[in-house]
Chains A and B, each alone.
Chain A
Amino acid sequence: MPNPGRADETRGLAGDVTLRFSCSAPQASVEVKANTAGFNAMACLHRDLSGFHDANIIVEFSKVAWFDGHLTAALDLVFRQAACRRNVVRLSGLRPRLRDTFCKNHLISKRKFDRHNTVMPIRAFEVDQALAFSGYAKRHLDRPEMPNMTAALRRCFFESIDEIFANAALHARASLPVIVGGQYFPRRQVLAFAIVDGGEGMQRAVCAKLHRALSPAEAIAWAMEPYNTTRQGDVPGGLGSKVLREFIEENGGRITVVSAGGLWQQHGALVSRRHLAAPYPGTAVLLEMKTIAALPHRPVEIPDPNNIW
């Protein structure tokens, strides 16, 4: 079945509605990255699209000079949400470089060969496909282009992204699949990965758990604290974020979590949070790790097997 959210580049037709991406940005040319401005642009596009049902919509990208490859997974969710309302979304005004990015990352159906082998194209997984996801991540990331990682760091990275997927699968409660994608940036020496779900977002679950009103950013901050979990019942939780955060602190990279109207970010050991101009339609977790990881693993005390239980 073709991807319902996949948008093709097209020219405008009579009767089409045209929306401009990043229309509120003052600059003539914008770069979409994993930051507040980038997610504001996607969230505002979702807000604008939300008013339409059964419509032919053209999203105009002429202001966009750069779009981080791994963020195409986050944009794909916006298009899928629009497709759920039976809209047909097409893209126009793509600069050549942007068209390349969207083709290589499979955001649009036109394909382009990734001769540098730096792309993890977008793929959708159902929540019970953790094993398939793990194989996908291994196939696309465990390769010679990902240099200078110690074996320990490499394993830690893979387990970290498995943790993100497991958390998305456990908490999303979404009818849409989990969307993943990634990009290796050789010049920046950064390996970036995105896992996106179209679920209810963290705010509702956290507020229900705490019986208290929190902003979206506050809810993410709570959920990212080690040992905090919205899970109730027979299975404990709250460790995935601990594993991830320790990994990022050690690596010096960055983790960004966007859920509804909040953005939470940890860069190395520094944490910040922001409010978005409009709600993003789900939760996106972005992992950006440095591949120049000459950093030694922090020594940890190895537990005695006789004293585990």
Chain B
Amino acid sequence: MKDVPINVAQVVGGGICVSAADGHRVHDLVYDHILAGHRVCLSFESVTRMTTAFLNTAVGQLYGAFPPDRLREQLAPPVCADPRQLVQLKLVVDRAKVFFDNPVRARADFSQAIESDDG
């Protein structure tokens, strides 16, 4: 399996990774390589700001296209990610697995949400 490094900041054109549109650019690149059977290594070198909105599109939606086992095999451990970025990544990945496993689950959470303390 061919290893392919992808530098997130280079794809986006800078270290500010905040928009969903930029996330789509990263996603499309990763998607193509995974489809081609390559192993992708995402590098977060020089990424200074990052949102979950960006990560949802960049990596979260991969879980709607590929099964988690395949992604675990074809995504190498991220490199140059600082602790906060690792926390964000893990949050988004775990959320994506749940979302695509049961996309209507949010509806079931509804009752609990609106029972919060009325002011």
List residues of chain A with CB under 8 Å of any chain B CB.
128, 130-131, 134-135, 152, 155-156, 158-159, 162-163, 165-167, 169-170, 209-210, 212, 214, 218, 221-222, 225, 227-229, 232, 234-240, 242-243, 265, 270-274, 300, 302-303, 305-306, 308-309
Which single member of B86, B99, B117 contacts A271 (CB below 8 Å)?
A: B117
Whether the pair A240, B51 counts as a contact (CB closer than 8 A) is yes
> Which B residues between 1 and 39 are near A, CB-CB below 8 angstroms?
14, 16, 18-22
Whether the pair B53, A167 counts as a contact (CB closer than 8 A) is yes
Which residue of chain B has the shortest Cβ distance to A224 in the bound complex? B113
How far is B15's CA from A134's CA once the two chains are assembled, in angstroms? 11
Which single member of B18, B92, B98, B112 contacts A162 (CB below 8 Å)?
A: B18
Task: Count B interface residues, CB 8 Å.
Answer: 55
Whether the pair A236, B106 counts as a contact (CB closer than 8 A) is no
Which single member of B72, B81, B95, B114 contacts A227 (CB below 8 Å)?
A: B95
The 10 closest A-B pairs by CB, nearest first: A272-B119, A166-B53, A130-B19, A236-B99, A239-B52, A303-B90, A305-B77, A225-B113, A162-B18, A222-B113
> Which B residues between 38 and 70 are near A, CB-CB below 8 angstroms?
49-54, 56-57, 60-61, 63-65, 68
> Which B residues between 82 and 119 are near A, CB-CB below 8 angstroms?
83-84, 86-93, 95-96, 98-100, 103, 106-107, 109-110, 112-114, 116-119
A135 cross-chain contacts in B, Cβ below 8 A: 16
A251 nearest CB across to chain B (Å) = 16
Whether the pair B93, A308 counts as a contact (CB closer than 8 A) is yes
Which residue of chain B has the shortest Cβ distance to A129 in the bound complex? B19
How far is B75's CA from A306's CA once the two chains are assembled, in angstroms? 10
Whether the pair B89, A308 counts as a contact (CB closer than 8 A) is yes
How far is B95's CA from A228's CA once the two chains are assembled, in angstroms? 11
Query: Can you report 25 A-B residue pairs in the complex whose CB atoms are below 8 A from each other?
Result: A130-B19, A134-B49, A156-B84, A163-B52, A166-B51, A209-B106, A210-B107, A214-B114, A221-B113, A228-B106, A228-B109, A232-B103, A235-B64, A236-B60, A236-B92, A236-B99, A236-B100, A237-B99, A272-B119, A273-B116, A305-B78, A308-B77, A308-B78, A309-B71, A309-B93
B71 cross-chain contacts in A, Cβ below 8 A: 309
B78 cross-chain contacts in A, Cβ below 8 A: 305, 308
Whether the pair B20, A169 counts as a contact (CB closer than 8 A) is yes
Known: A229-B106, A240-B52. 10 other contacts (CB 8 A): A163-B52, A166-B54, A170-B53, A225-B109, A232-B103, A235-B64, A236-B95, A265-B119, A308-B93, A309-B68
Which residue of chain A has the shortest Cβ distance to B96 in the bound complex? A236
How far is B83's CA from A63's CA once the two chains are assembled, in angstroms? 50
